[in-house]
């Protein structure tokens, strides 16, 4: 479907917006804030609330990876950070919808993650990351291949923190789920494989989607105090079956960009 001429010109002008370095600094500010906050909270929780320390430390590591990837100009940095932004915006919006009130913490999470996503958009920003030639030559990808990898990596990165919460949020006694840990391992393997241009990344994403669908709704037992004002405060929201279904669909969507090339390859072998 073609956009109207007026809207298309507006979208094109947004994609060419300048101040790339300044926008990068703003995105790093938000990523660094969450990474340091979660890692420090996790370190303090080891003695005060050890049951939530793994969740906080894992989420802190997730944000720290985004911070270093963007700061070091790794070619996939803005894709990964875009996934972080999409996660925060979607979960923040879901939380506000569930709360049916203007919760300031949820609103702050939504806005700051929106800043991360918006600041890393556009052609000027792509020139600092995925538009660089060396990595394209190393992996042997054309422009269409770049688009496929970008979509897959960003979608997989969006699901990873939700799966971390599914696996590491404390549950009621007798409510443990091995499927959530399997989903976490497969999601991490998927992201690694996608970034390395390996087929096993796609297979792991599909397997992670299946694992997420069999994760039972959790009886979460997290105390509020260690999680206040951090993205980990969104953990109780992942118990909803609708969230599980959305994560599984997003993981399958990470595989979708490669469906046509895979089908062509299989037909050529017949």
For residues 66 and 63, what is the distance between their CA atoms, to the nearest angstrom? 5
pLDDT of residue 243: 85
Query: Terminus-to-terminus CA distance in the chain, angstroms?
Result: 34
pLDDT of residue 24: 92
CB 130 within 8 A of CB 150: yes
For residues 85 and 57, what is the distance between their CA atoms, to the nearest angstrom? 19
Q: How far is CA 189 from the centre of its chain?
A: 14
Q: What is the mean pLDDT of each run of 10 residues along the chain (270 residues)?
A: 48 60 92 93 85 90 95 91 93 84 86 92 84 80 83 92 88 70 92 86 91 73 56 77 89 84 62
pLDDT of residue 154: 92
* Rounded (10°) CA dihedral 244, 245, 248, 254: -120
pLDDT of residue 174: 59
For residues 71 and 224, what is the distance between their CA atoms, to the nearest angstrom? 32
CB 251 within 8 A of CB 155: yes
Q: What are the tokens at 201?
A: 């990344």
Q: How far is CA 233 from CA 38, 56, 236, 241, 254, in A?
A: 11, 10, 7, 18, 26
Q: Report pLDDT digits (tens) over 186-234.
A: 999 999 998 887 888 888 999 999 999 887 765 555 554 456 667 877 7
CB 171 within 8 A of CB 218: yes
pLDDT of residue 207: 93
Task: Give the residue carrying structure tokens 């897959």.
Answer: 152
């Amino acid at each position: 479907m073609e956009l109207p001429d007026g809207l298309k010109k507006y979208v094109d002008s947004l994609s060419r917006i300048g101040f790339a370095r300044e926008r990068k600094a703003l995105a790093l500010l938000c990523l660094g804030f969450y990474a340091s906050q979660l890692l420090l909270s996790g370190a303090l929780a080891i003695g005060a609330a050890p049951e939530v320390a793994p969740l906080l430390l894992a989420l802190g590591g997730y944000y720290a990876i985004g911070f270093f990837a963007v700061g070091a100009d790794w070619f996939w940095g803005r894709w990964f950070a875009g996934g972080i932004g999409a996660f925060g915006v979607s979960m923040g919006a879901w939380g506000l919808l569930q709360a049916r009130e203007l919760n300031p913490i949820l609103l702050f999470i939504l806005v700051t993650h929106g800043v991360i996503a918006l600041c890393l958009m556009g052609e000027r920003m792509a020139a600092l990351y995925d538009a660089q030639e060396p990595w394209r030559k190393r992996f042997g990808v054309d422009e269409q291949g770049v688009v496929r990898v970008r979509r897959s990596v960003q979608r997989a990165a969006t699901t990873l923190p939700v799966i971390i919460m599914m696996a590491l949020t404390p549950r009621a006694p007798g409510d443990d789920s091995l499927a959530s840990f399997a989903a976490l391992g497969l999601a991490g393997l998927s992201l690694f494989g996608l970034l390395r241009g390996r087929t096993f990344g796609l297979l792991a994403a599909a397997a992670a989607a299946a694992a997420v669908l069999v994760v039972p709704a959790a009886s979460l037992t997290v105390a509020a105090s260690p999680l206040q004002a951090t993205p980990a405060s969104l953990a109780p929201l992942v118990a909803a079956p609708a969230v599980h279904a959305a994560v599984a669909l997003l993981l399958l969507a990470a595989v979708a960009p490669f469906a046509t090339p895979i089908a062509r390859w299989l037909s050529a072998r017949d």
